[in-house]
Structure 1
Amino acid sequence: MKLTILGSSGSVGAPTNPASGYLVTVDNSPALLVDIGPGVLGSLQRFHDPCDAHVVFSHLHADHCLDFPSLMVWRRYHPHSPAKGRNLCFGPSGTLSHLGPLSADSPGEVDDMSDTFAFAPWRAGEAHIIDRLSVVPFEAVHPVEAYCLRITEHTSRKTIAYSGDTGWTDQLVECARDADVFLCEATWCAGEGDFPPDMHLTGAEAGRAARLAGAKRLIIVHIPPWGDEEATLAAARAEYDGPIEVGRPGQVIEF
């Protein structure tokens, strides 16, 4: 099982780091693309064929989904290697109505993407089988319908937990329970400021979630370009004494 960080910048892209996008690959199976924010499609081309990946969305804020219309262009109109068939797509219930107008030909139309993706909405707490992976969505705390995602490879039982965007919730801890790798957002960094409630996590909360879940490795993501990475790490380390780092674009984790 391999995890490639395509982009991990928080809320907006950074000069050398796209917004949210993560690639999960296993042998003899299409890849799984988890979120596809601005700049992620370009990064994806360095590592994997964009036509050979299922797509899942944690939620539909722009920094997690805005390269999807470009992926549709690639899959449909690439002059040499368009998609040969359909892949799966899972996301919040409004995924088609939210993203469909962005790739439709005319105002007022909705592209149902059924020629290149088979879409189904998440059902919280239920395992969704995607080839050799199972993905279980857990309800997140965010201003829009949003999910934390637990991704498990069937044979090895290796697990990646991904917070998506969320405020503190016990569901996050359950999602990350005993995970081999825990990708956790820390948008509020060291927690110094007057932040809106029920939206994002601090570094300390990311560390606390990893500790309570018994996660084996914590990778902090979704730090905005203006955020203080070292202060965020310090806050997380005060709560969690396991391996911890900031996720970098192009980073590949095999386990």
Structure 2
Amino acid sequence: AQGAANLIAPLFGGFAATGAIARTATNVRSGGRTPVAGIIHSVVLLAVVLALAPLAHHIPLATLSAIVVMVSVHMGEWHAFKTLGRFSAAYRTVLLSTFFITVVFDLTLAVELGLVMASLFFIHRVSDLTRIEPVPQDNAGIDPRIQVFRLFGSLFFGAANKLESLLVAADTRPAVIVLSLDKVINIDTTGLEILQNLHRTLAKQGASLVLCGLNAQPASLIARSGFATQLGEANIVGSLEAALARASACAAKAGELSPSPLGGASPVP
């Protein structure tokens, strides 16, 4: 509605405007909770401009300034500053930066900066929650060439380096890598690309990648991207037990394959 009004207003000599936080805060503190408060404010202001403009001209600027100052004081959530010590350094940084940018420059710049800073801190915090842990195998019947890892958190661009380090940190070349994704709530396109790169790297070494325990969003993305077909439907299973059984079959077949001309065995279909 506001956008349509800004498009139409110039046709009648008006100019584009935006919502005023000061008036909104005053309305809320005075008990206004619905759009009716804004309508009444507009009607009263229109009446003053049309009928009482000569009288409003005599209102001292000092009076208007005092009103603006009082509105600003009442808008400030000053109690938030008293509780800053209870919150994280990231929260304090965002709040104080937004506050000082608002005072020194303007509100628009402060909101933009605050959103950017909050987004960066959020990405950093979520990436810290993402981790990869090896899953110990107590079963003596498991082929030692099978390596099992469990991923936690969200596999997105902010945490892609953790999955990239999976092969770099490996001391030996495994025959099969099993990734348990039952604790992964989300995968973005960067995370998907890392999985694809991992699959290609293992394939060049004659090894296989097996995924298990996919939740709804990761499973949907992997299916829609075509990676499920590329990896092989048999290499995407529901449980870790099924993944280990599939990995054992892959490892057994990999041992029977002769080396390819490129120096690695062909991946198990």
TM-score bracket, normalised by the shorter chain, equals 0.3 to 0.5
TM-score by length of 2: 0.31
Tell which structure's C-alpha radius of gyration is larger.
2
Higher share in strand: 1
Higher share in helix: 2
